[in-house]
Homo-oligomer: A and B are copies of this chain.
Amino acid sequence: MVKQAKNAISPTRDEDYPMWYQEVVKASEMAEKSPVRGCMVIKPWGYALWENIVSTMDGMFKDTGIKNAYFPLFIPLSYLEKEAEHVEGFAKECAVVTHHRLEAGEDGKLVPAGKLTEPLIVRPTSETIIGESMSRWTSSYRDLPILLNQWANVVRWEMRTRIFLRTSEFLWQEGHTAHATEAEARERTMMMLDVYTRFVEEYLAMPVVRGRKTASERFPGAVDTVCIEAMMQDKKALQAGTSHFLGQNFARSSDIRFQNADKKEEFAWTTSWGTSTRMIGGMIMTHADDDGVIMPPRVAPAHVVLLPIARKEEDQRKVMEYTRSLADALAVRTYHGSRIRVEIDDRDTGGARAWDWIKKGIPLRAEIGPRDMENDCVFLGRRDEAPGKKVSLPREDFINTIDTILDDIQNNLFNRALAFKRENTIEIDDTEEFKALFTAPDENSIHGGFVMAHWCGAAECEAKIKEDLSVTIRCIPFDSKTEQGRCICCGNASGRRVLFAKAY
């Protein structure tokens, strides 16, 4: 490993993690804050990542029979009133449209005019309006299941925002299904969690803990909420996807009824499940290092950048020709069924050029100078290795093995994250030890982790820990074994460990 004098990102993770995150995003040119409070501009490099996420997940959804649809941006105020629990959940902080016109005021400035009879809410979710549609579309068991998904923008007013992690407007998908039987709806709930798990682990290279939310962390109105939780490099948890079994609660409030095969009327059994651009924040905080973002190859906007190097003018044409022909040869190769995505960067910006791509997190950088060309080689750097570590590789080998190299990076990223998660997941039985782990020695230090500890099941204990330490039960992991123990809070009997952590 070549020792670097300096990192591309300042501060480093250890120095100031939240500021490091901000700088990483900025340096990657993925997104930036917009002049509109709490909203972000997703720049081409970030949006291309989102497009890859969308197209992959969308294909997975469709493979399970899901169809996409689109529902209105606005929700009538009365819809939120219908669902008391919903209002508690979302409507407190949301964008309210009260007028439908602008007029020039006395000073020539524009003022809102055309007051609406009933204010409209910019959707914080489309749940209520999708429920209303399902109600109209369902009369017989033959109309079920209804298997819908929507890719859209939603708005939840946020006072303190962080790009990708918490913004007033974000992009997401929300799935909503209605079924004739409880068993089918429960199966769908788990099926979609499985899709999320597979996508997040295999594509974003983020290992997750799968489990069930406690009653207090459950989605409002849900009978059962299952989730995947990932560990960020500051050892906090980030929920990367949730799937809800809503029983008949949602059907009751939205009036989704059907006549069953015995001609009896029943409420449908429904599910909902969602993921958002927040996943991108999670991906960054899982893999990025002190030199910037690291894109997992399977979702990377581009797989490789070719960097022609020709200091002498007489070399330039030849090197560029060689570079273009290499790009053409790579672009017809595939990686997991997709074409290899190649960028050529022939800017004349010296050393800053390679660093730009390191900060963007492109998996591979291939330098091509006159000597490489003579040897029919490229000088290859991998983003999962130190910036200074580069190897010379014959052109033909590079072309023929690029998919293997990319898979090696993909696996390396996953395994690194898995090792980090394992190292920082511990069982604790002692209350003081538990408190100490979650108490910062100083403001900036990274502390905490995933703690598997016993919990008696009482909401009071859960609330006390949250109050005292800002630590929540992220989930009751599916794989946590039955085991006798004492609640980490009250000492009462417990039959199973649950996952405690601080969270985003």
User: What is the interface of chain A, defined by CB distance below 8 A to chain B?
Assistant: 34-36, 39-44, 47-48, 50-51, 67-77, 79-81, 87, 91-102, 109-110, 112, 114, 119-122, 129, 132-133, 142, 148, 152-153, 155, 157, 169, 171, 347
**B96–A98 CB distance below 8 A:** yes
A251, chain B: closest CB distance, angstroms: 18
Q: A47-B69, A110-B87 are in contact. Are A36 and B76 (CB under 8 A)?
A: yes
B95 touches A96 (CB 8 A): no
A122 neighbours in B (Cβ, 8 Å):
73, 97, 122
A69 B41 Cβ-Cβ under 8 A: yes
Q: A76-B36, A98-B98 are in contact. Are A110 and B81 (CB under 8 A)?
A: yes
**A157 adjacent to B101 (CB under 8 Å):** yes
Q: Determine whether the beta carbon of A96 is less than 8 Å from that of B92.
A: no
CB-based contact A112/B96 at 8 Å: yes
CB contact under 8 A between A94 and B98, given known A43-B69, A67-B44, A71-B41: no
Q: A77-B102, A87-B110, A96-B112 are in contact. Are A42 and B67 (CB under 8 A)?
A: no
Are A70 and B96 neighbours in the complex by a CB distance under 8 Å?
A: no
Partner of A74, one of B39, B100, B152: B39
Q: Using Cβ atoms and an 8 Å threshold, which residues of chain B touch A36?
A: 72, 74-76, 120, 129
Instruction: Give Cα A98–Cα B121 distance, bound, in whole angstroms.
Output: 11
Contact residues in B for A92 (Cβ distance below 8 Å): 101-102
Cβ-defined contact, B98 with A110, below 8 A: no
Complex Cα distance A123/B426, Å?
A: 49
Contact A93 B101 (CB under 8 A): yes
**Contact residue among B44, B153, B347 (Cβ-Cβ distance under 8 Å from A73):** B153
Asked if A157 and B100 sit within 8 Å, CB to CB, the answer is yes
- Please give, as numbers and ranges, the residues of chain B lying within 8 Å of A347 by CB-CB distance: 142
A74 vs B69: C-alpha distance when bound (angstroms): 23
Contact A77–B40 (Cβ < 8 Å): no
Instruction: State which of B132, B142, B155 has its C-beta within 8 Å of the C-beta of A35.
Output: B132
Contact A74 B95 (CB under 8 A): yes
Our pick among B44, B48, B69, B110 for the contact of A42 (Cβ within 8 Å) is B69
Chain B's nearest CB lies how many Å from the CB of A387?
24
Task: Give Cα distance in the complex from A157 to B98, angstroms.
Answer: 13
Known contacts A110-B87, A122-B122; is-contact A34 B72 (Cβ 8 Å): yes
Cα–Cα distance between A48 and B502 once the two chains are bound (Å): 41
Given A91-B110, A100-B93, A72 contacting B132 (CB threshold 8 A): no
Q: A403 to B95: give the CA distance in the assembly, Å.
A: 49
Contact A68 B47 (CB under 8 A): yes
Report chain B residues within 8 Å CB of A91: 102, 110
Neighbouring B residues of A95 by C-beta, 8 Å: 74, 97, 99-100, 120
Alpha-carbon distance A58/B47, docked complex (angstroms):
13
List, in ascending order, chain B residues with CB within 8 A of A93's CB: 100-101, 114
- A194 to B81: give the CA distance in the assembly, Å: 49
